[in-house]
Amino acid sequence: MYSQKVIDLFMNPKNVGRIDNADGVGEVGNPVCGDVMKIYLKIENDRIVDVKFETFGCAAAIATSSMVTEMVKGKTLDEALKVTNKDVAEALDGLPPQKLHCSLLAEEGIKAAIEDYLAKKSNAKQEESEAKQCAKA
């Protein structure tokens, strides 16, 4: 059975939606059930200032999406990367064993969005340094 927290967040999830011009976007899926989670991050000074999600999935996937977005909001990227699916499941007062895999989407979604942000940032830095080199030449 689902905990009351899972039921509440499934019925009234927080942070649903998308962020236009997000700094990082992560999309992950579970190939077994076909559920998909998309995470959007707004980042300032390596801190997550806003986060939203769109999840097409089961009740556990929706509740874990909502919980993980609440858990990482306001955290630095390093802190957010340390949030595991176990932390999310515990914050929801547990998940039925056959639904634990759903919480993996939450951990992976946040990581994918942060990786997207870091990749964009390093590309931007590279372009900047190439532009500087061109200007010098």
Of the candidates 37, 68, 102, 110, the residue annotated as catalytic is: 102
Q: Does 71 bind ligand FES (CB under 6 A)?
A: no
Please say if 33 is a catalytic residue. yes
Q: How far is CA 47 from CA 33, 73, 74, 85, 117, in A?
A: 33, 8, 6, 20, 12
Minimum distance from CB of 25 to ligand FES (Å)?
19
Least distance (Å) from ligand FES to the CB of residue 45? 33
Residue from 28, 41, 51, 61 binding ligand FES (CB under 6 A): 61
- Smallest distance from ligand FES to CB 61, Å: 4
CA 26/CA 108 separation, integer angstroms:
8
**Contact between residue 117 and residue 42 where contact means Cβ atoms under 8 Å apart:** no
